[in-house]
């Protein structure tokens, strides 16, 4: 599926979705939306069109892959979109609201980016384990690791109040089909970095990439 930079283009319009309708997420509160939310459904025609657009980019990226970089192929991109859609459908059915200040089409972008990042990390460690749908924090994202994906190459690892001190969090950066696995941090190591807010969202720890452990030191048992 698509290699569009959805942070800069209206991918919802491409898929024929009404962007005025709210999409649910999880924070334990019941949604106040009374009208049905139209699901974004990727048709075969749209998938094939996006595959054609991606072919040149994917081929070029595979020709020059730097260390810790991962390039998703067309099947993996399609898996990411399917996973994101199933997760969004699930939280909508549960009537849950956006979490951590994410709302509207941004919530959808985060679902897609997160799914891509998890698949990229899974590929990086050589795993073929299936990814979960709406298990929230009861099950880690990939193996015993939590994956946090950011769209900019220089962005920090974000950890929040409800993130466990005992889990390992891996930062993946990128977009489209190309990603970089930056490093990792155990949740308990976030505190020296202090909390800050951004864009009106709740306070969180923004851990710089320079403070992360190298991926060569990633514990195998999580």
Residue 83's domain spans which residues? Answer: 11-217
Phi first, then psi: what are they for 28, rounded to 5°?
Answer: 85, 0
Domain count along the chain: 1
Q: Is residue 106 part of a domain?
A: yes
Q: Is residue 4 part of a domain?
A: no
pLDDT on residue 64? 61
pLDDT on residue 222? 65
Q: Is residue 25 part of a domain?
A: yes
Q: What is the pLDDT along the chain (222 residues), one digit of tens a residue?
A: 443 333 333 333 333 334 333 333 344 444 443 334 444 444 444 444 444 444 445 544 555 667 899 999 999 999 999 998 888 887 777 766 655 455 555 677 888 999 999 999 999 999 999 897 766 666 889 999 999 999 999 999 999 999 999 999 999 999 999 999 999 999 999 999 989 988 778 899 999 999 999 999 999 876
Convert the pLDDT of each residue in 14-70 to its tens digit: 333 343 333 333 444 444 433 344 444 444 444 444 444 444 455 445 556 678 999
Q: Is residue 5 part of a domain?
A: no
Residue with tokens 């979109």: 81
With the C-alpha atoms ordered 131, 137, 143, 146, is the resulting torsion angle positive or negative?
Answer: positive
Q: Is residue 3 part of a domain?
A: no
pLDDT on residue 200? 79
**Cα 187–191–196 angle (5° rounding)?**
110
pLDDT on residue 18? 41
Q: Is residue 2 part of a domain?
A: no
């Amino acid at each position: 599926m698509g290699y569009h930079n959805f942070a800069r283009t209206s991918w919802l319009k491409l898929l024929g979705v009404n962007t005025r309708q709210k999409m649910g997420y999880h924070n334990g509160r019941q949604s106040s939306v009374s009208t049905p939310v139209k699901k974004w459904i990727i048709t075969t025609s749209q998938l094939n069109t996006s595959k054609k657009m991606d072919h040149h980019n994917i081929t070029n990226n595979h020709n020059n892959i730097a260390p810790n970089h991962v390039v998703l192929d067309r099947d993996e991109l399609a898996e990411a979109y399917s996973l994101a859609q199933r997760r969004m459908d699930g939280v909508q059915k549960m009537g849950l609201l956006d979490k951590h200040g994410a709302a509207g089409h941004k919530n959808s972008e985060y679902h897609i980016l997160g799914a891509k990042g998890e698949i990229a990390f899974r590929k990086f460690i050589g795993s073929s384990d299936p990814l979960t749908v709406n298990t929230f924090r009861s099950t880690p994202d990939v193996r015993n690791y939590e994956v946090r994906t950011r769209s900019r190459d220089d962005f920090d690892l974000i950890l929040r109040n409800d993130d466990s001190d005992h889990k390992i969090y891996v930062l993946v950066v990128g977009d489209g089909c190309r990603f970089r696995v930056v490093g990792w941090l155990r949740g308990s190591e976030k505190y020296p970095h202090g909390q800050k807010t951004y864009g009106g969202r709740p306070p969180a720890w923004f851990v710089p990439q320079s403070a992360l452990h190298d991926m060569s030191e990633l514990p195998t048992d999580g």
